[in-house]
Structure 1
């Protein structure tokens, strides 16, 4: 089976317009040879309501994600999971606290630099697939390559086909999303998220729109490709079965992050 993950890496599109690296201070782990890919320190997120009252969504988040990690963040709806994912994905900024990505302080990045870093280094997998209607599976997977390096742009058809082959959908390359099953659509979404070989994969309720059996197959695929590529995988979920697959688990509750989320009466594992 073909794979795009063994090609020689190309110079990153984010190498330009980047501030100097943040000095590493990772709680004594620097000597372990695996410094944080993402490093959040005392991060908060607050929004101002119409009555001038402040809504505290995230409170003092400390989180380090390293290359090769598989981390799950579990919490109820409205606990701040999506806000945390947006910050990890460089779609939003902390109100206070600091964040570094690949050793670079995010607060010093301009909008263009953040967009380049996000496109080159982060892949998103969502619950609702978010595939482009009227476009084939191949065209959907090729979309991120339109904004990549020159090599990615000119070889976009081959790279996208290799990725579809990797997720077992090469024979469905010409098929539009509405003709695909839910599991097939999610595999196309995974192929699109991984086609530029990101270092960080953010999966937001990736099995939420799937039945249990299909969801397990999708998570098997996501785990396998993340491991093969050496990427860090962060899964945001309310499903304890999905969270149990991760090596590191957190619980997010009213904006407070704590280690090792565990089953509680109001967080029943799907299918249990």
Structure 2
């Protein structure tokens, strides 16, 4: 069965104008198609354009040229408010540094995205957040503040927060960069499992070939050019 194409980039470029009026070309003719249920890794060194690509995929920015579509809709046709609403309902972000609110409990952190939801999601926000914490194995830590959680626990809270609105697309930006190897692999396995169960697409932006090896499709970004790459060997899928 052919899965729905969720997000696609065709000939996408991104350039910014520098103070001396020269253009810095960050992405150069990027083509990428991601379907529901995919787990895709994008690997590359620092400064290769990974963060810029993430911002485009997450509807935080627009291409300089080329076509970016989300669920078949050209993103350029959407207003800023419409893009923000689509991002809030359909995209979940998992960051390297967790970005948890320090004065809020694990449960309150996971509830936060649901404060912007409507209807049943809003009214059932506590129940939905507790269910997601339970799915990542942290229901018993619901009332704990982030500074009392281990790094792996904080990342699991961040994953629960990213997934609580059941996004169609999950973007993980160096999600294991602040974790030790064993904890990082456990976090990636959890992220992949939860994404697979919900039918979401997972895109992992990383420089770590061990993390990339857990994906089912791999691309390398080098000097703004994206090309298919072999999935690194040596790590069990």
TM-score (norm 2): 0.96
- 1:203 matched to 2:172? The reply is yes
Q: 2:105 aligns with which of 136, 139, 142?
A: 136
Shift of 1:252: 0.1
Aligned counterparts, 1:1-272, within 5 A: 33-261=2-230
- State the TM-score, normalized to the length of structure 1: 0.84
Check whether the contact 1:203–1:234 (CA below 8 A) recurs between aligned residues. Answer: yes
SS state of the match for residue 144, structure 1?
Answer: helix
- CA 1:101–1:55 in 2, change beyond 3 Å: closer, same or farther? same
Post-superposition offset of 1:35: 3.7
Aligned residue number for residue 4 of structure 1 = none
**What's the Cα RMSD here?**
1.5
Higher-Rg member (1/2): 1
Unaligned 5+ segments in structure 2 are none
Kept after mapping to 1: 8 A contact 2:217/2:231: no
Alignment check: 8 A CA contact 1:133 1:176 kept: yes
Question: Structure 2: how far apart are the matches of 1:133 and 1:96?
Answer: 39
Gaps of 5+ in 1: 1-31, 264-268
Deviation at 1:34, TM superposition (A): 2.3
Whole-Å separation in 1 of the counterparts to 2:112 and 2:6 = 25
- Once the two structures are superposed, what CA deviation does each residue of 1:222-267 show, in whole Å capped at 9, x if it has no partner? 011011001000000000010011110000000000001566xxxx
CA deviations over 1:92-119 (Å, ceiling 9, x no partner): 1100001110111100100111011001
Name the residue aligned to 1:14.
none
